[in-house]
Amino acid sequence: MTALRPAEPLLAPSLLSADFARLGEALTLLEEAGGCVAHVDVMDGRFVPNLTIGMPVVESLRKATSLPLDCHLMIVEPHRYAEAFVAAGANWVSVHQEADPHLHRTLAAIRAAGAKVGVVLNPGTPVETLVDLVGDFDFVLLMSVNPGFGGQAFIPRVLDKIRRLDALRTERQQPFFIEVDGGVGPDNAQALVAAGADVLVAGNAVFKAADPKAAVRDLCARMKAGRG
Ligand code: DX5
Ligand code: ZN
């Protein structure tokens, strides 16, 4: 049901695939291309086997752009840091269900801090585990790779998860949005939106493209086509 989805699909290019010495330029490119939020992958070397960035970098990104910052926390004990990411300037904050046994409390704390809040599900975590949290989150981020690295192959079973989540929001009449992250590119963007996704994360498909701005525009066009 359209009213339960954002008016337009959005692209969330992942800064993980950009040059970390030139993040300001990456943000300017996304602003010029249009239709974007900036996806920020926060990794702690414990929840995932990689280390990336923390709050000081988000603070700097905040000063450099008016684009919404979508902070994907791949960290253990996310309740310890989630509000600090909001204070640093994150507009959307998502936490992994697998990383937090007290999600209800963490989601409420993030909302109270003033950000949109999302729950992230790894490829092996069923969407049905969210039925008792519907209404407590603004979006669900479905991983279509195992988190930790950019440039991995898309896991197609996420398409069925999107459809089941779309059915859940229709059944509950709750307007949360569905974001998909990992291995997204021109070959699957349209099908993901047609299945019910509203926001697509794309790292390598944008920042490793010969012309990143053209890649953003192409992906956005394919996403719009997915809405039919
Ligand atoms: C993976 C990250 C993704 C990643 C996506 O753990 O959450 O956001 O950067 O990169 P691509 O689009 O290259 O798979
Ligand atoms: Zn991510």
Q: What is the CATH number of the domain that holds 177?
A: 3.20.20.70
Residue 159 placed within a domain: yes
Q: What is the dihedral of CA 42, 118, 93, 114, to 10 degrees?
A: -170
Catalytic hit among 70, 100, 138, 181:
181
Catalytic hit among 41, 44, 100, 166:
41
pLDDT, tens digit (0-9, with 9 covering 90-100), for 9-36:
999 999 999 999 999 999 999 999 999 9
Is the Cβ atom of 13 under 6 angstroms away from ligand 1? Answer: no
Dist CA 76 CA 213 (whole Å): 34
Query: Range of 39's domain?
Result: 10-227
Residue 3 placed within a domain: no
How many domains does the structure of the chain reveal? 1
Q: What is the dihedral of CA 203, 194, 6, 83, to 10 degrees?
A: -40
Q: What is the DSSP letter of 44?
A: B
Burial environment of residue 91 by CB neighbours within 10 A (0 to 12, 13 to 18, 19 or more): middle
Binned at pLDDT 50, 70 and 90, residue 2 comes out as low
Helix extents (H) in the chain: 23-33, 55-64, 82-88, 103-113, 158-172, 189-195, 204-207, 212-226
**Position in ligand 1 atom list of the atom nearest CA 17:** 9
pTM of the model: 0.98
CB 27 within 8 A of CB 213: no
Is the Cβ atom of 72 under 6 angstroms away from ligand 1? Answer: yes
pLDDT, tens digit (0-9, with 9 covering 90-100), for 133-173:
999 999 999 999 999 999 999 999 999 999 999 999 999 99
Write the single-letter amino acid at 4: L
Residue 181 among the catalytic residues: yes
pLDDT, tens digit (0-9, with 9 covering 90-100), for 41-95:
999 999 999 999 999 999 999 999 999 999 999 999 999 999 999 999 999 999 9
**Position in ligand 1 atom list of the atom nearest CA 39:** 8
Residue 2 placed within a domain: no
**Position in ligand 1 atom list of the atom nearest CA 208:** 13
Question: Which of 95, 50, 59 is CA-nearest to residue 76?
Answer: 95
**Cβ-based neighbours of 95, under 8 Å, separated by 6 or more:** 73, 78, 79, 82, 103, 106, 107, 110, 117, 118, 119, 120
CB 117 within 8 A of CB 94: yes
Residue 35 placed within a domain: yes
Average pLDDT over residues 119-140: 98
Dist CA 189 CA 135 (whole Å): 27
How far does residue 127's CA lie from ligand 1's centre (Å)?
20
